[in-house]
Amino acid sequence: METNAATGQALGQSGCVQWQNFSVPFEYPVAFVRGLFSTDNSLFADIVARREPDKRHRCHFIIDEGIADALPGLIPSITAYFDAHSSRLELIADPMILPGGEIVKNELAHVERMQDAIHELCIDRHSYVIAIGGGAVLDAVGLAAATAHRGVRHIRIPTTVLSQNDSGVGVKNAVNFKGIKNYVGTFAPPWAVLNDFDFLTHLPVRERVAGISEAVKVALIRDRDFYEWLETNSDALSIFEPKAEEYMVRRSAELHMRQIAHGGDPFELGSARPLDFGHWSAHKLEALTHHHVRHGEAVAIGIALDARYSVLSGLLAEGLDERIIVLLENLGLRIWHPALENKDASGELALLTGLREFQEHLGGELTITLLSDLGTGHEVHEMDPKLVRQALDWLKRRKAK
């Protein structure tokens, strides 16, 4: 009887089973910088040419419409940069502009448009598709790049707090399909991630605040010292003091990268998603509000809900939920939205259907990360609807004070 050498699992007596086993190392730089496209800053050119320094590299930019509108000088700056580094870089076409936010993720036509451009511009696996924008645009461009020619080189230049400190440094790309969030997607590491802090100064205040929630999230499940630093520096962060904001982004990105690299499941073959702490309800709340509530805002509410649930279930000490909520509020994040009380056609709390949807997203087994202490996540495989309702009631009462 054949046996899997890795697991010891018996495989039956009929047929011949041979095991293929190989590993592929992935590595990519994540840089933090200001003035990425200043002509005297060689970082971008160095990153592009790092494996083939004597080659002239073909590049095509795809830019979030929001950042293109906010920074009319961006495209001229890119053109000037390529002129200054023309021995190593070639700009093969005018940048493509895409709508940002959920709009770009809700229509597969945007992905098809990008794939058409990759084909028409003869972008091969040694050329570069470079995305500049928020997380939604990075997701969509990453999907197009990962599926053209089975993967062309892709560089991410995140422009929001949320994408610089979380999603932009990861390995996932996806768009929505038939109302299901991130249903069509891939795991495909980028060639590089280049975080330019100068982009953050042009964000609307609401977007800039919302992104901090992902730093709170990863601190709560992985790094108590960072969580306490967020508490100490919440006033500075709330007014976007540059040094505080830069450290928050860098440390959050580092913790997300550490989990991806060393958490044992970078391509999410299992059902555990520690980096999705606070997200099961956040995803549903976004849908219930037709994305009027931004992702980071929904995550903050999800953190508050799961912190209170952790206390009610006996995992987390009483009072730590209040401490977490005070931090969220000091940062300018809210912990309640009326849509949390919406009911479905059967009279069931609509938020609870989010648990079933999250279970499907995980691949079958429900695994929710809660808290056993500040900086320590704890996985559970069921959620008590009664305690969820009690946690919601507590948040609502607290908001009313």
123 or 23: which carries more pLDDT confidence?
A: 123
Place of tokens 């768009």: 175
3-state class (DSSP) for residue 363: coil
Contact yes or no for 266/179 (Cβ under 8 A): no
Enumerate the β-bridge partners of residue 157.
132
Q: Which of 276, 284, 242, 301 is nearest to 172 (CA)?
A: 276
Contact yes or no for 134/99 (Cβ under 8 A): no
Contact yes or no for 55/49 (Cβ under 8 A): yes
Residues 216, 175: Cα–Cα separation, whole Å = 25
Q: Which of 141, 112, 137 is nearest to 128 (CA)?
A: 141
For 125-148, how does the pLDDT look when each residue is reduced to its tens digit (9 = 90+)? 999 999 999 999 999 999 999 999
Contact yes or no for 238/154 (Cβ under 8 A): no
Helices (H) and strands (E) in the chain, counts: 17, 11
Average pLDDT over residues 387-401: 92
How many other CB atoms sit within 10 Å of the CB of residue 384?
13
Burial (CB count within 10 angstroms: exposed 0-12, middle 13-18, buried 19+), residue 357: middle
Tell me the pTM.
0.92
pLDDT number for residue 57: 97
Question: Is the pLDDT at 10 greater than 90, yes or no?
Answer: no
Phi, psi of 245 (to 5 degrees): -65, -45
Place of tokens 């982004």: 249
Residues 6+ apart with CB under 8 A from 31: 43, 47, 192, 193, 194, 195
DSSP H helices in 25-183 = 43-48, 65-70, 74-84, 102-106, 108-120, 135-147, 161-165
Enumerate the β-bridge partners of residue 192.
155
- The CATH number for 209-261+271-400, chosen from 3.40.50.150, 1.20.1090.10, 3.90.25.10, 1.10.10.60, is 1.20.1090.10
> Which CATH number does 30-202 carry?
3.40.50.1970
Question: Is the pLDDT at 1 greater than 50, yes or no?
Answer: no
Contact yes or no for 126/132 (Cβ under 8 A): no
Domain assignments of the chain as residue spans, ordered by start: 30-202, 209-261+271-400
For 188-237, how does the pLDDT look when each residue is reduced to its tens digit (9 = 90+)? 999 999 999 999 999 999 999 999 999 999 999 999 999 999 999 999 99
Phi, psi of 133 (to 5 degrees): 165, -170
